[in-house]
Amino acid sequence: MEAVLRPRILGILNVTPDSFSDGGQLPSIEDAVGRAHRFAREGADAIDIGGESTRPGSRPVSLETELKRVVPILDALADFPLPISIDTRRAAVAAAAAERGATILNDTAALRDDPEIATVASAHQMDVVLMHRSGTPETMQIDPRYDDVISEVRFFFEERIEAAIGAGIAIDRILLDPGLGFGKRKEDNYELVNRCQELRIEGTRLLVGASRKSFLEPFDGRDPEQRLPGSLAFVARCRRLGVDWVRVHDVADTVRFLDTLEAIDEPASVTGGVV
């Protein structure tokens, strides 16, 4: 049987009061640091720290607010055993994070909102996630439309890769994120995952984040924390299609789910236990 790539897991650590699923759940530095270490124990491959919500309808926060949210946590994670990603659109936040050990920049604006952020990423040799987003967080879900979502997202990636390389970011440091839920209709999200291999550009990696998002509502109810089955269905499809990274809230459940899929593929590797 042909081997199936196991996607790496990026655990979501939002230190915001208004993120769509986990906003306000980490009110203190101790809470955030505790969750980061829990993710490490559960099998995450990296964690993604965000101090500004970019959910649909969100409004930007000040630079000072974003720094105040993330810098103390980064300081407290100075000896953290996993790679740290900073989820930001601002060069100053990316620089502060890189100086404190962050090695990944996850930019939902794909280096467009702050002209200096690409320079920061290049100078610190950070891996960079370029996410497709149509419009701004405030407006992106107001009647989004595409003639051909696959070709339009791929064209966007080609243009942003060119800009990143022009700023000195090596192509093998670039990850492409189709931005599910960021200026997309429900059907766009499903098509982007089903055809994500068509978004691959040589030298780059693919990252997909479907965890708990609203297009899962028909299957998992209205509470984001109840959308695990739908989230895992997207993880399964990503695994089948060879996606390199999945960004998730539920690290332990995702790890166990992937372990089970691998055991099904390779039953001889499973030992012990009789039912």
Domain boundaries, the chain: 11-208
Q: What gap in Å lies between CA 94 and CA 118, rounded to an integer?
A: 10
Instruction: Enumerate the H helices of the chain as residue ranges.
Output: 29-42, 63-76, 91-99, 117-123, 149-166, 186-194, 217-220, 228-240, 251-265
Tokens 């000072």 sit at which residue? 64
**Among 205, 203, 206, 225, which residue's Cα sits nearest to residue 216?**
225
Widest pairwise Cα distance in the chain: 59
Side-chain-side CA neighbours of 77 within 13 Å: the count stands at: 35
The answer to whether residue 74 scores a pLDDT higher than 70 is yes
Specify the range with the lowest mean pLDDT, choosing from 5-14, 130-139, 190-199: 130-139
Could you please state the CATH topology (level 3) that the domain comprising 11-208 is classified under: TIM Barrel (3.20.20)
The answer to whether residue 136 scores a pLDDT higher than 80 is no
pLDDT band for 47, please (50, 70, 90 cuts): very high
| pLDDT score of 19 | 44
Contact residues for 3 (Cβ-Cβ < 8 A; gap 6+): none
| pLDDT score of 182 | 87
Average pLDDT over every residue of 119-137: 91
Q: Which helix (H) or strand (E) is 12 found in, with range?
A: strand 8-14
Look at 219 and 29; give whichever has higher pLDDT: 29
| pLDDT score of 211 | 87
What are the catalytic residues?
213, 247
Q: What gap in Å lies between CA 33 and CA 31, rounded to an integer?
A: 6
The answer to whether residue 20 scores a pLDDT higher than 50 is no
Tell me: the pLDDT tens digits for 232-256?
999 999 999 999 999 999 999 999 9
Tell me: the pLDDT tens digits for 147-158?
999 999 999 999
Mean pLDDT score of the chain, rounded to an integer? 88
b/e per residue 151-168 (b: at least 16 CB within 10 A): eebbebbeebbeebbebe
The DSSP secondary-structure symbol of 107 reads E
Q: Which helix (H) or strand (E) is 208 found in, with range?
A: strand 205-208
**Among 209, 211, 147, 146, which residue's Cα sits nearest to residue 176?**
209
Q: What gap in Å lies between CA 59 and CA 180, rounded to an integer?
A: 19
Share of the chain above pLDDT 90, in %: 67
The answer to whether residue 223 scores a pLDDT higher than 60 is yes
Specify the range with the lowest mean pLDDT, choosing from 79-83, 134-138, 233-237, 253-257: 134-138
**Among 174, 73, 186, 185, which residue's Cα sits nearest to residue 135?**
185
The answer to whether residue 260 scores a pLDDT higher than 60 is yes
Q: What gap in Å lies between CA 206 and CA 130, rounded to an integer?
A: 10
pLDDT band for 21, please (50, 70, 90 cuts): very low
Average pLDDT over every residue of 42-54: 93
| pLDDT score of 162 | 98
Q: What gap in Å lies between CA 24 and CA 15, rounded to an integer?
A: 7
